[in-house]
Amino acid sequence: GRLVVRTPSGASRVLNGNAGLSVMEIIREAGMDELPALCGGSCSCATCHVHVASEWLARLPPMAEDEDAVLDEAIGRDQYSRLSCQIPFSTRLDGLEVTIARME
Ligand code: FES
């Protein structure tokens, strides 16, 4: 399915993602260095922080307590914030739009 990714500087790419990968893995496999994802998806670094387009927020799986706690360490957290390693991509999410958060 399609995954639309914007960078903090405003560039935009449409990626083709496989169900079963996380949104973080799809972005990393596309070679986008704007998303460091330093912990490799173990929900402990907050460097996979994205802002989800508002119309998609309610269609994502709910946030777990550990994701919520790690996001508290993220820069610029807002009501659209999620950790992209905690979002499993699926056909239901075809067309999902996320913006990579600023890391500094
Ligand atoms: Fe580290 Fe998501 S990759 S919290």
Closest ligand 1 atom to Cα of 46? 4
CB 74 less than 6 A from any atom of ligand 1: no
- Say which residue the tokens 């799986």 belong to: 61
Q: What is the ipTM of this complex?
A: 0.99
CB 48 less than 6 A from any atom of ligand 1: yes
Residue 104 has pLDDT above 90, yes or no: no
User: pLDDT tens digits, residue range 56-91?
Assistant: 999 999 999 999 999 999 999 999 999 999 999 999
Whole-number Å distance, alpha carbon 75 to ligand 1 midpoint, is 14
Instruction: Look up the pTM and report it.
Output: 0.97
User: pLDDT tens digits, residue range 26-41?
Assistant: 999 999 999 999 999 9
- Residue ranges and CATH numbers for the domains of the chain are 2-100 (3.10.20.30)
